[in-house]
Every structure is written in structure tokens, then in C-alpha cells.
């Protein structure tokens, strides 16, 4: 349905929706398991159910049973989405398959951003066998479970939201990763292990400086390793992220050997989701 969605919708809805509004029909959608999520602009509010019913018919062949719209900004520390079901099954808990990994989750209550798809794939590609990885913001295992499916790694997956943690536990089982993924429930400020990791994933757009310190302290203190530090720019209140990472690393006596900023996705008007790949080595004093 992808890029051809809008012309198809226009064809189906001509005559139902006034001509001047047809240009506002959605161009794309996200599919998480059986749930399709679309952005329907306010100007089409009176026609949203008709639009959703057509989308349901169009999506039936690819397993779509529910059509929902984004009903507001993702909220709070748990990053709870705002979604309204418009057509089809009301049940939004689903099984989503991506990169050979099964994710059970409820996209009406848990963030699983389709825009992070390439980042989830990138993490699989750059992680090495036999690494220990700490995922400081694991959610249902979004960024770290696919790595464990593809590579022989040990993962500490930390999550504070009880609902996301429940799905994380289920997803570890569904993907048969009980021997290699260690779930830790709680605030990463309290439960993150120290001196264990070759790689630390910080997949939360509003990290604090103390969390960056915790991420660095999770690295093996003889060898160092990699940090993948996500931020929303310029929304994030932290200073220039590279400067900040260098400053905090320096304070903890690590040298930054490599630092590169990548764009993950467009996040909101004038706001980008970025990730910094940082390689850190403990400072040697002779
Ligand atoms: C937006 S989700 C991101 C999930 C995943 N890392 C990704 O990038 O797709 C962030 C997750 O971090 C969790 N979280 C936020 N603050 C936390 C903290 N202090 N300790 C542990 N988990 C936290 C939230 O509950 C949420 O599930």
C-alpha cells in the first residue's frame, strides 16, 4: 500500500469527501502487527471513520484488522502513545515480526516507532558476537532483542514501566532468549550493573547527565567500549551533545576515541532524532 496510499484513497473516497479536502488524505501509515496507524489531519475529522473503513478493506490482505489514528503527542517518561481506534477490532495488543524477532506489545500503550526501523537493523549489524550489551531504556526489547536473535551476545535489558517490562519478559520467552537476555526491572539509575558492557544503548530521547554517567560506568573499566546515545535536537535541554559526551567522559577518566552523530528520523516539526556513536577508552596513567 506504501507510497501509493494517497492516490488509492483519493480514488476510493471521491464523492464521499469534498474535492478540496482530498489533498489532505494520509500519504503513509505504520503497521505494527495487525494494527495500522495513520495521521489524519484535523481538517478531515468529520470523515475519519470513512477513511479508516476504506483503509481496513485495503489492508485486509496484509493482515490489518484495526485502523487507528494518532490522537496526540507521545506522553511522559514511559513514552505512552495517544492512539484512537477508528475501525475494525478494538483489541490493539498484537504480535509484530521484524528482523526475525517477534514483539508482543500494545501499540496503543507502548512506543514502538516505525521510524526507528533502520536503527534497529543497524544495531544488529554493528554489534559483534560475544559482546555484553546494556540496554538502559529497553521498553519491550525494541533495540536489543533483535541483536540477541542474530548475534551471540549477552544483554542486560533495563525497563522501568511495569507494562513494558511485562512485554519484555514475554518477548524474551517468545524469542527463546532466556539464557542470554537478563531483564532488570526498575529505574536505570538504581539497577544498571557497572563494569560489564562492551556496548551500551541509550534509546531514550531525553536522557539526563546522570544517566549518561551511568551508561559510561556500565562499560568495562579496563577495556571501554561503545555508547549509542540518542537525543532529540534541538528540543533536548542538554548542550551540544558531542561537547557534553566529551565533558562527562573526561570527568569519568575516559578518552573519546571516536564520535559520530547520525540522524535516525525526523521527530517533530524542526526536531530531529539523532544518535551519537561514541567509542570510549579508559585513560591510562603511567
Ligand atoms: C521511547 S522508549 C524507547 C525504546 C527503545 N529504546 C527504542 O529506542 O525504540 C523509552 C523507554 O525507556 C523507559 N525509561 C524511561 N526512563 C527510564 C529509566 N529511568 N529507567 C529505566 N527505563 C526508563 C520508558 O519506560 C520507555 O519504555
Rounded to two decimals, the pTM is: 0.94
Helix, strand, coil % over all residues of the chain, rounded to 5 = 35, 35, 35
Q: Quick check: is 106 in a domain?
A: no
CA of 187, closest atom in ligand 1: 20
CA-CA distance, 276 to 189, in Å (whole number)?
21
> Does 197 share its domain with 72?
no
Grid coordinates representing 66 are 484495526
Beta bridge partners of 154: 132
User: What's the CA-to-centroid distance between 110 and ligand 1, angstroms?
Assistant: 10
What secondary structure does DSSP assign to 46-99, as a single string?
GGHHHHHHHHHHHHGGGT--EEEEEEEEEETTTTEEEEEEEEE-S---EEEEET
Residues with a CB atom less than 6 Å from ligand 1:
77-79, 111, 113, 116, 137, 139, 142-143, 158-161, 164, 187-189, 203-204
* pLDDT recorded at residue 2: 55
> Does 88 share its domain with 131?
no
* pLDDT recorded at residue 148: 98
Grid coordinates representing 194 are 557497572
* pLDDT recorded at residue 25: 94
Q: Quick check: is 75 in a domain?
A: yes
Q: Quick check: is 32 in a domain?
A: yes
* pLDDT recorded at residue 284: 79
Number of domains in the chain: 2
Q: Quick check: is 9 in a domain?
A: yes
> Does 269 share its domain with 157?
yes
Tens of pLDDT, residue by residue, the chain (286 residues): 555 888 989 999 998 999 999 999 999 899 999 999 999 999 999 999 999 999 999 887 789 999 999 998 888 899 999 999 999 999 999 999 999 999 999 999 999 998 999 999 999 999 999 999 999 999 999 999 999 999 999 999 999 999 999 999 999 999 999 999 999 999 999 999 999 999 999 999 989 999 999 999 999 999 999 999 999 887 655 568 899 999 999 999 999 999 999 999 988 887 889 999 999 999 975 5
* pLDDT recorded at residue 239: 64
Q: Quick check: is 162 in a domain?
A: yes
Q: Quick check: is 103 in a domain?
A: no
SS3 9: helix
Q: Which domain holds residue 22?
A: 5-92
Amino acid at each position: 500500500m506504501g507510497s501509493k496510499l494517497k492516490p488509492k484513497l483519493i480514488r476510493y473516497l471521491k464523492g464521499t469527501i469534498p474535492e478540496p479536502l482530498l489533498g489532505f488524505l494520509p500519504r503513509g501509515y505504520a503497521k505494527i502487527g495487525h494494527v495500522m496507524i495513520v495521521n489524519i489531519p484535523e481538517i478531515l475529522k468529520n470523515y475519519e471513520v470513512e477513511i479508516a473503513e476504506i483503509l481496513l478493506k485495503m489492508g485486509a490482505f496484509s493482515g490489518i484488522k484495526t485502523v487507528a489514528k494518532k490522537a496526540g503527542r507521545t506522553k511522559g517518561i514511559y513514552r505512552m502513545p495517544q492512539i484512537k481506534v477508528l475501525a475494525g477490532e478494538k483489541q490493539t495488543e498484537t504480535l509484530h515480526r521484524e528482523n526475525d524477532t517477534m514483539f508482543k506489545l500494545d501499540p496503543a500503550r507502548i512506543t514502538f516507532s516505525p521510524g526507528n526501523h533502520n536503527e534497529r537493523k543497524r544495531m544488529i549489524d554493528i554489534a559483534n558476537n560475544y559482546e555484553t550489551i546494556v540496554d538502559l531504556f529497553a521498553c519491550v526489547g525494541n533495540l536489543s532483542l533483535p541483536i540477541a536473535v542474530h548475534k551471540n551476545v549477552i544483554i542486560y535489558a533495563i525497563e522501568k514501566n511495569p507494562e513494558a517490562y511485562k512485554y519484555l519478559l514475554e518477548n524474551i520467552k517468545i524469542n527463546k532468549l532466556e539464557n542470554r537476555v537478563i531483564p532488570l526491572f526498575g529505574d536505570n539509575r538504581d539497577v544498571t550493573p557497572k563494569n560489564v558492557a562492551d556496548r551500551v544503548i541509550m534509546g531514550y530521547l531525553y536522557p539526563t547527565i546522570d544517566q549518561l554517567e551511568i551508561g559510561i560506568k556500565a562499560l568495562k573499566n579496563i577495556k571501554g567500549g561503545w555508547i549509542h546515545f540518542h537525543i532529540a535536537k534541538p528540543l533536548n535541554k542538554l548542550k551540544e551533545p558531542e561537547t557534553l559526551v566529551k565533558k562527562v567522559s573526561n570527568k569519568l577518566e575516559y578518552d573519546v576515541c571516536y564520535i559520530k552523530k547520525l540522524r535516525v528520523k525526523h521527530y517533530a516539526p524542526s526536531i530531529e532524532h539523532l544518535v551519537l556513536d561514541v567509542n570510549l577508552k579508559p585513560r591510562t596513567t603511567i
